Structure 1
Amino acid sequence: MNHCVQPGCTGVYEDGWCNVCGSPEPTAAPVAATPVATPSEPAAAPAPTGEEVPSGISGQVDSQVATPGPGRSREALRAAVVRRQRAHAALRRSTLGMGLTQVPPVPVGDPMQALMVDPEVPEERRVCPSCGAKVGQAAGEAGGRQQGFCPQCRAPYSFTPKLAPGELVAGQYEVAGALAHGGMGWIYLARDKNVSDRWVVLKGLLNTGDSDALDAAVAEQQFLAQVKHPLIVEIYNVVTHEGDAYTVMEYVGGTSLKQMLKQRMTTAGRYDAFPVDQALAFVLEALPAFSHLHDLGLLYCDFKPDNLIQEGDGVKLIDLGGVRRQDDLESPIYGTVGYQAPEVAEVGPSVASDIWTVGRTLCVLTFEFRGYQTEYVDGLPPMSQVPPFVEHDAFYRLVARCCAPDPNDRFLTTDELRTQTVGVLRQVVASRSDHAATLSAHSVAFDPPVSTGETLAWWELPELKRDESDPMLDWLSSLQVSDPVALHQTLAGHSEQTPEVLLARARAGVRVGQRAWVDDAVRELLRENPWDWRASWVRGLWELSQAGTDEERSRRAGHTAAGHFAAVRDALPGEIAPRLALALASELGGYAKAAELDYERAWRTDAAYVAPAAFGLHRVRLGRGDVDGAIRALDSVPAGSRAHPRARWLRAELLRRRGSLADLRESVHAVSRLTLDPKQRALFNATIYEQALAQVAKDGERADWRLGEVPVTRDALRRALEQEYRVLADYTPDPVERATLVDRANAVRPWSWT
């Protein structure tokens, strides 16, 4: 069987269709369309068969009931309809990954198939609920006990399900069986007899023997029942049954990411992680749920692959057992070793610790994270040892900021994290392409670049977007001062020195070369917020502004600027502007390979950056003698760009310098549609014809070839060159130069002896 060719799909083709995503096999014959009745041909009534067509397969087929035709069995019809349904499903793009990538949907199975046949907790997971000591372990040939007393603290324990199939809980929920055993105890599947027999999940609460703890737990679960979000499992009710409390939750019938990881394990036991783009898509979809909880003053605390379920083409966050209020300093903290932030034990959970769990989850999803609960419980393995980190450095920087040792160095909010995750996903997906980007991405931090020429200066880099919440923004917008010195004087004299005012002061200092102005503004900016990455951006601009014509001075400026822009890149791994700035700084600093990599990332990812990145690639590749690579870069500048004419001219010049007849012919074609002044075009044509004559003298004529309209023969080229010399003479004011051009025209004219 052939593997499915759809991006990210793990299925194989069966009978011409993928068994996972439903897409047709490229070589398979298309399914014949069902005939549709035309207005002039009324639809025939379906033949009575005496049996009812199952609703799952009869379906809507052009508003008619599908019936077997002559020689076709009902099984064949069923197969045809299922194929058609799969084909239609394949046309629908999954909501996961915002349309940037594809994640195969997970079918929702029969809930009864998820029940445990013989509910039993493995011995390695049996621990005392009071002190955490191992209990119920095997002794000799005797198996471990499912219930008893902890030998360390004498607290009772029991790992046998308390609810039996058919038991009615709180007079409403009929138990079907046990689904799993979690940190809070057994989890049961049940039917809600009061609401259309819908499936629900019953989850026991810990410490139910303590009345105060039980009251507090019930109150907390009742509060969580008010949390309503489509990405968070819904809590319907909190009930008691025979002295025990149970949370009644929505049944989610998909597959957890942990289960999916287990399913991806190879037969040899080799870890088969998710592709980076799919892992980012899962987390990206779940982050709005975190934002909702944080907006309510809640913390999730225990995010991990076990607690995110894919259902169809969406995800849902389950298990709210660890959720707590942000101002709660007394309740027990629930988390998982390897996922919990290192500072939680001392200062408690926070938004920053939730963001840590997101980073750790991304690691577990994308590579075999050995030692994540031991050696690397508080950090990450070296970048060089993790293939996804090496392949996608933006992904590494996203994870590194999520898992920064200092909570203050992490993303401030999950909304900020989500914005950067989208940008990183774009870069990961773009890395698979060998073509320039065709779509632009919205940035919350930068305006698009303005460069349209073959060089890139510091003032042509993307501008910082202004903070709409800054109280001085309206005043700044009203200023009509164009002179940077006068502007700085106005800004520095104002009593309100907000971040936007300070940034405007710094930029004025860069424009006029006043380092003291820049340093003062940056110092005040960092005094208010030591983690403001805009300070590094401004410092990088200052260094670039100091690069002049002196090669050594430019190299030093580029080296220093690269350090500042690298800090911005690390803070905003999903943004392309720092990549372009870093590429320019690396180019000036003499780090050609690093510059090329960052130019390529910008070039692939965002259409707004294609032109400046393409010119950057042209410069870097030409610097190492890669003319073909430089030409390919120039070819990528889109026709609609203001930089396109300049790119075509540079391309023509590169081809002309290379000098073969084929190159000369392509060079003429490259400039044929450019608007040039007569003298410039005549000079270009004259140079082309001179080189062509030299090639003809060496390799012979090619009468079947043309340079524009000129055949590649000696006489034709001489006549064309004569004409261009005379055009140049007409546009040359200096009489000596004009006479020289006329002499050259006479000398090159072909002579006839008849």
Structure 2
Amino acid sequence: MRCTRAGCPGSYDEDAYCDECGHKQAGVTAPVTAPVTEASTPSAPSSSSGRTTGRGRGAPVLAALPVVPRRDPAAAVLPDPQVPEHRRFCGNCEQPVGRARGDRPGLVEGFCTNCRTQYSFRPSLPPGAVVAGRYEVLGAIAYGGLGWIYLARDRNVGDEVSDRWVVLKGLIDSGDPDATAAAITERRFLVEVDHPSIVKIYDFASHPDPRSGDRVGYIVMEYVGGLSLRDIFLARPVTGGVRQPLPLPQVIAYACEILPALGYLHERELLYCDFKPDNALHTDQRVKLVDLGAVRRVDDDVSAVWGTVGYQAPEVATAGPSVASDLYTVARAMAVLSFDFRGFTTTFVDRLPDPATVPLLSQQESYHRLLLRATDPEPGRRFGSAAEMAEQLTGVLRQVLSAADGQPRPAVSSQFTGERKAFGTAAGVVTAVSTSGDGLDGAEVVAALPVPTVDPADPGAALLATMQTADPEMLQAALASAGADGVEVALAVVRARIAAGDLAGAAADLDTITDAITDADWRVDWYRGMAALAGGRPADARAAFDAVYAALPGELAPQLALAAAAEAGGDTDTALRLYAAVWRTDHAFVSAAFGVARILADRDDLAGAVAILDAVPDSSSHSVPAQVAAVRARLAAPADRLAEADLLDVSGRVERLGLDVERRARLTVEALRAALTWVQAGNAGTAAVLTHRLSERDLRLGLERAFRVLAKVAPDRDTRIDLVDQANRVRPRTWL
């Protein structure tokens, strides 16, 4: 329903308050619903959530946030506002003040014993006070770094039907009226901030302090009902003395809501500076930044810098805040909310705990890597923008959710192409002799792996789109004649050299690129890894691909490449873990499925290998090779473990494959040979395998017929003679 207030374009929400001006709908009682702090099931939110592409950047379709109803504004007022003693510090020297001594409680008002500065922790604005002749104070609702925060009614907007509620937050406490006026003028840019995930700033006002008479400045902002992320965290149950963290998908969804808001500020050359769970409110199904008191311009090197120990980046104290330090605070907040982060303000004030002590970090490797990059001690190695971090975080969320329920969540990557072709599929090739592969061929893997997409902003991007030649020298000459340059051009030549086997030339070019660029570029590591893998140096390839994974924890291509390098180097444990993670998240990476099946088959987990291969979708061009590999995995079991049901399963699979004459005959030979070995081991069955009963005579006749079929399609005379000889050797003895 549209808001009834004249000139307001808003509408009433389910809680009967206008989503634009905050007026309450006349004659309607807002519903009362208990707050929900558990993450909802990982499905798309209902259409009533009101989420838009301006919020979340992908999180809404992956993990819906729980519904937290808005609080009645009047209920938010504290009946007895007090500042806990452990939060009382002198505003001048920052020494503890107002602390208890023995049985005597600490003083709420007094003088600092260290510098004799007067302090007071009582709300300076009593209920009924009117600020700037307009904002009528109802009472204090919270205590922040700059003092008390108040709920007030806007007399100029409210009417007899509804009220416009606002929040007053102290901006500056100075006895100099000129300084107060200057501070207010300086920060009026906040009124222009307009983003659905950032609290709206309406006005700035000043009011004399009732005790000292000094002018105090206030930010006037919209009232956002709901709970802070800190309150939601503190409401979690405590088990064994440990507060249970929020579900990881919910934590990531919160960050995916917050990062676009920070990105909006960064695009306008503004820094938030002091993000923490206290400063984000969850109301309905949205999250809002609610404290802009510390926001400053990027080029502001004069104003005081606000931050919170445990969240603030270590370089802020000396180098000042930056985009990188803002992103650091988001990662620290995620860590605090997602696991038992004891000592995050002391022992681990500037680092993360070891994954060996935090099960979540050891179980969710991509999430751990994202936190590591976002909190890297070197600001230049962190994410370059909120959008970049949000993109990788959404990729991590896909992996987390797929690990939880086994459902793939594919997505098109903006950083990599898809697999150019599948590698390690020898078990699915009917003409191949081996059923599990004798190790990966590095050149085959390199030819199949995804490659980085071309940056459209690069000067040579348009020209590269028209180049078809794969010869590195011709490509380089063509690009040079066209006057093309840039990193993308150089990398295209490197890729061509690797494909042509000129690994020394590729390495030299990569060294030149590294010397020419000022910042670390993960694409250089990617191509170093490809060159190393093609050159039979899996350890070097692994180190390079690991660096790419650290830079892009939300991407699957680096994990696939790292898995291949680990397998080539003999570390099948790591390879299996990474292959499984990639396949679980996106079934388009068929190489990962074959990798999992290959390793499981080598470990004699044939049933597990078959299950993975069966998951290759029928729509995939590798569906038939996957089924061929599944047939071979079934037949790989020794005769004493092979059951009649396995043989029947193989028979049904071969019948359904619809292979051509030659490939069907070859697979028939493999199946009937295994069945014959099974019968000769003393087993007996009543069923038929590929129309042949489980008896030695019938199986031999079937094998003879299959060999003769192969002889008819043999490519040369010698092969035909060999196949006929095999048919003669296998046929049963007869009198005719």
Normalised-by-shorter TM-score class: 0.7 to 0.9
Partner in structure 2 of residue 355 of structure 1: 327
Counterpart among 292, 303, 314 of residue 286 in structure 2: 314
Asked if the contact 1:168/1:175 (under 8 Å) is kept, the reply is yes
Secondary structure of the 1:679 match is helix
Partner in structure 1 of residue 655 of structure 2: 672
Higher relative contact order (CA 8 A, sep 6+): 2
Pair 1:273 & 2:224 matched: no
C-alpha deviations, 1:576-631, integer Å up to 9, x for none? 0000000000010111100111101111112321x110111122222333322222
Pair 1:219 & 2:185 matched: yes
Distance in 2 between the 1:506 and 1:493 partners? 18
Partner in structure 1 of residue 585 of structure 2: 605
Partner in structure 1 of residue 97 of structure 2: 135
Summarize the Cα distance change of 1:749–1:186 in structure 2 as closer, same or farther, 3 Å threshold: farther
Cα offset for 1:220?
Answer: 3.1
Pair 1:192 & 2:180 matched: no
Summarize the Cα distance change of 1:244–1:564 in structure 2 as closer, same or farther, 3 Å threshold: same
Partner in structure 1 of residue 421 of structure 2: 451
Asked if the contact 2:157/2:164 (under 8 Å) is kept, the reply is yes
Asked if the contact 2:251/2:338 (under 8 Å) is kept, the reply is yes
Asked if the contact 1:488/1:508 (under 8 Å) is kept, the reply is no
Summarize the Cα distance change of 1:56–1:567 in structure 2 as closer, same or farther, 3 Å threshold: same
Distance in 1 between the 2:545 and 2:499 partners? 18
Partner in structure 1 of residue 20 of structure 2: none
Q: Letter of the aligned partner of 2:336 in structure 1? A: V
Q: Letter of the aligned partner of 1:518 in structure 2? A: A
1:298-697 maps to which residues of 2 (within 5 A)?
298-434=270-406, 437=408, 439-452=409-422, 454=425, 457-491=445-479, 496-526=484-514, 527-547=516-536, 557-609=537-589, 611-658=590-637, 660=642, 661-696=644-679
Secondary structure of the 2:546 match is helix
Partner in structure 2 of residue 27 of structure 1: none
Counterpart among 221, 225, 250 of residue 249 in structure 1: 221
Q: Letter of the aligned partner of 1:706 in structure 2? A: A
* TM-score where L is the length of structure 2: 0.84
Distance in 2 between the 1:112 and 1:749 partners? 100
C-alpha deviations, 1:275-318, integer Å up to 9, x for none? 22211111111101100110111100000010011001110001
Cα offset for 1:510?
Answer: 1.2
Q: Letter of the aligned partner of 1:307 in structure 2? A: N
Q: Which structure 2 residue ranges, 5 or more long, are not aligned? A: 1-26, 34-39, 209-214, 427-443
Q: Letter of the aligned partner of 2:501 in structure 1? A: G
Cα offset for 1:265?
Answer: 4.0
Partner in structure 1 of residue 117 of structure 2: 155
Q: Letter of the aligned partner of 1:507 in structure 2? A: R
Q: Letter of the aligned partner of 2:174 in structure 1? A: T
Partner in structure 2 of residue 203 of structure 1: 169
Asked if the contact 2:567/2:575 (under 8 Å) is kept, the reply is yes
Asked if the contact 2:701/2:731 (under 8 Å) is kept, the reply is no
Distance in 2 between the 1:357 and 1:739 partners? 74
Secondary structure of the 2:568 match is helix
Q: Letter of the aligned partner of 2:569 in structure 1? A: G
Distance in 1 between the 2:608 and 2:325 partners? 46
Cα offset for 1:393?
Answer: 1.0
C-alpha deviations, 1:383-439, integer Å up to 9, x for none? 22222211101111111111111111111111111111101111111112346x2x4
Asked if the contact 1:430/1:605 (under 8 Å) is kept, the reply is yes
Distance in 1 between the 2:724 and 2:126 partners? 110
Summarize the Cα distance change of 1:90–1:503 in structure 2 as closer, same or farther, 3 Å threshold: closer
* TM-score where L is the length of structure 1: 0.82
Counterpart among 195, 220, 230 of residue 258 in structure 1: 230
C-alpha deviations, 1:157-183, integer Å up to 9, x for none? 222112222233223222211101111
Distance in 1 between the 2:662 and 2:71 partners? 75
Summarize the Cα distance change of 1:107–1:267 in structure 2 as closer, same or farther, 3 Å threshold: farther
Q: Letter of the aligned partner of 1:563 in structure 2? A: A
Q: Letter of the aligned partner of 1:310 in structure 2? A: H
Cα offset for 1:123?
Answer: 2.0
Asked if the contact 2:166/2:223 (under 8 Å) is kept, the reply is yes
Partner in structure 1 of residue 440 of structure 2: none
The percentage of aligned residue pairs carrying the same residue is: 41
Deviates more, 1:723-732 or 1:227-236: 723-732
Summarize the Cα distance change of 1:194–1:357 in structure 2 as closer, same or farther, 3 Å threshold: same
Q: Letter of the aligned partner of 2:499 in structure 1? A: R
Distance in 2 between the 1:155 and 1:738 partners? 101
Secondary structure of the 2:588 match is helix
Deviates more, 1:682-691 or 1:97-106: 682-691
Asked if the contact 2:174/2:216 (under 8 Å) is kept, the reply is yes
Summarize the Cα distance change of 1:593–1:237 in structure 2 as closer, same or farther, 3 Å threshold: same
Partner in structure 1 of residue 256 of structure 2: 284
Partner in structure 1 of residue 36 of structure 2: none
Summarize the Cα distance change of 1:533–1:691 in structure 2 as closer, same or farther, 3 Å threshold: closer
Secondary structure of the 2:187 match is helix
Cα offset for 1:372?
Answer: 1.6
C-alpha deviations, 1:416-466, integer Å up to 9, x for none? 11111101111111112346x2x4212111011122350652011001100
Summarize the Cα distance change of 1:142–1:388 in structure 2 as closer, same or farther, 3 Å threshold: same
Q: Letter of the aligned partner of 2:385 in structure 1? A: T
Q: Letter of the aligned partner of 1:148 in structure 2? A: G
Cα offset for 1:486?
Answer: 2.0
Secondary structure of the 2:172 match is coil
Secondary structure of the 1:205 match is strand
Asked if the contact 1:341/1:357 (under 8 Å) is kept, the reply is yes
Secondary structure of the 2:547 match is helix
* Aligned CA-pair RMSD: 2.8
How many pairs align?
Answer: 660
Cα offset for 1:698?
Answer: 4.8
Cα offset for 1:325?
Answer: 0.6
Distance in 2 between the 1:597 and 1:215 partners? 60
Summarize the Cα distance change of 1:531–1:737 in structure 2 as closer, same or farther, 3 Å threshold: closer
Summarize the Cα distance change of 1:663–1:103 in structure 2 as closer, same or farther, 3 Å threshold: same
Distance in 2 between the 1:384 and 1:590 partners? 24
Partner in structure 1 of residue 441 of structure 2: none
Partner in structure 2 of residue 707 of structure 1: 689
Distance in 2 between the 1:748 and 1:642 partners? 43
Q: Letter of the aligned partner of 1:588 in structure 2? A: A
Secondary structure of the 1:432 match is helix
Asked if the contact 2:708/2:724 (under 8 Å) is kept, the reply is no
Distance in 2 between the 1:146 and 1:739 partners? 103
Secondary structure of the 2:657 match is coil
Asked if the contact 2:328/2:375 (under 8 Å) is kept, the reply is yes
Summarize the Cα distance change of 1:268–1:190 in structure 2 as closer, same or farther, 3 Å threshold: farther
Asked if the contact 2:242/2:340 (under 8 Å) is kept, the reply is no
Partner in structure 2 of residue 236 of structure 1: 202
Asked if the contact 1:446/1:463 (under 8 Å) is kept, the reply is yes
Asked if the contact 2:703/2:731 (under 8 Å) is kept, the reply is no
Q: Which structure 1 residue ranges, 5 or more long, are not aligned? A: 1-53, 60-77, 80-85, 548-556
Counterpart among 93, 108, 116 of residue 78 in structure 2: 116
